[in-house]
Amino acid sequence: MVKKITGYFTPGEYYHVNLNQYQANLNFKVRPCSYNLDYSDSLVHKYYNFKTDINGFITSNFIKKSKKNIYFIGGSTTECMYVDENSRFVDIVNRNLILNDLDYSAYNAGFFGNTVINCNSILLNKLLYLKPDYCILMENINDLYFLLNQNNYRRSSDKLRNFIFKNSEFKKISNNISSGNYDLIKDYFKSSLVSFIDISRNFGITPILMTQANRFVINNMDPIVKKHLDVISNYFGINHHDFINLYKDFNIIIRECAKIKCIQIIDLDNIIPKSSNYLYDSVHYNNYGSVFAGNIIFEKLHEIF
């Protein structure tokens, strides 16, 4: 017997897009946990101001309304939670836009743990309605974590999220990828970047890619980076050398995508010195590094404008 249903919607299982983003109008202070301090050498242990605007974007004193908008999307290296409020690189870009009387505003849509796929979802389901003029993407290490864990971008396990977000428990998991055979995850990463570029262009947005600054050096590894790599090796079952080479390959893929798709790139990997003077751990900016990066990014954007 056929079941009869009266209603305004088709029966079935419905899903909602879960955007990794901050709530609107947050205003709190946050300080690094013990893990952040144990795995860093230039992170100041203090409270950092953290605010979001009506759209959930990280904000500061330098935001102004303008005719044209620039949106930065990425993970914690874009978010810059443990950087002083007015020293986050997006805010440095905004300050320079004001000083140079340019009618642009930059917005920080970074969120810790996000991958390119998460950023594409934010672009499609949120940013399009805000009509960006430019969308600037910086990713690498989060995608590498996710892809090493599962070979794809499916929803991560609780243990992996704990590794990326809380870093409080490390247990070795099986890596589904044979040692040295990483073409599959490179292809996934490349495809996600190409999708970002194509989505942006199809909706009249100018996409820009940024490589990720880091302290990964194979032949001259400092103690903090080695400590980080030891944790990665224990968790993912990958040796230091292979992980660093994969990370470098991901930055190369970013450069290749920009070249193939004929878009602008800001190559922070080749500009930011691989030093604790700029990065408090393997990939995250300290105050000095964030200000330095912000000025570099603005100079490049000024050339583009």
pLDDT tens for residues 186-242? Answer: 999 999 999 999 999 999 999 999 999 999 998 888 999 999 999 999 988 899 999
Q: Which residue has the higher pLDDT, 236 or 91?
A: 91
Using CA atoms, how far residue 31 sits from 25, 36, 49, 168, 283, in Å, is 19, 9, 9, 16, 18
pLDDT at residue 6 in the model? 54
Name the 3-class secondary structure at 222: coil
Q: Are 280 and 227 a contacting pair, CB within 8 Å?
A: no
pLDDT over 90, % of the chain: 76
pLDDT at residue 167 in the model? 47
Tens digits of residue pLDDT in 268-302: 999 999 999 999 999 999 999 999 999 999 999 99
Q: To 5 degrees, how large is the angle CA 42–CA 48–CA 51?
A: 140
Q: Which CATH superfamily is domain 27-304 in?
A: SGNH hydrolase (3.40.50.1110)
Query: What does the domain layout of the chain look like in residue ranges?
Result: 27-304
Q: Note if the pTM is more than 0.95.
A: no
pLDDT for residue 7 is more than 60: no
CA separation for the pair 267, 130 (Å, rounded): 27
Q: Are 62 and 12 a contacting pair, CB within 8 Å?
A: no
pLDDT at residue 213 in the model? 98
pLDDT for residue 243 is more than 90: yes
Question: Picking from 31-35, 111-115, 142-146, 159-163, which range would have the lowest pLDDT averaged per residue?
Answer: 159-163
For every residue of 14-77, DSSP letters joined together read: --------PPTT-EEEE---HHHHHT-SS---S-EEEEB-TTS-B--TT----SEEEEEEESHH
Arithmetic mean of pLDDT, 49-69: 88
CA separation for the pair 197, 258 (Å, rounded): 9
Q: Are 60 and 84 a contacting pair, CB within 8 Å?
A: no
Tens digits of residue pLDDT in 63-85: 778 889 999 999 999 999 999 99
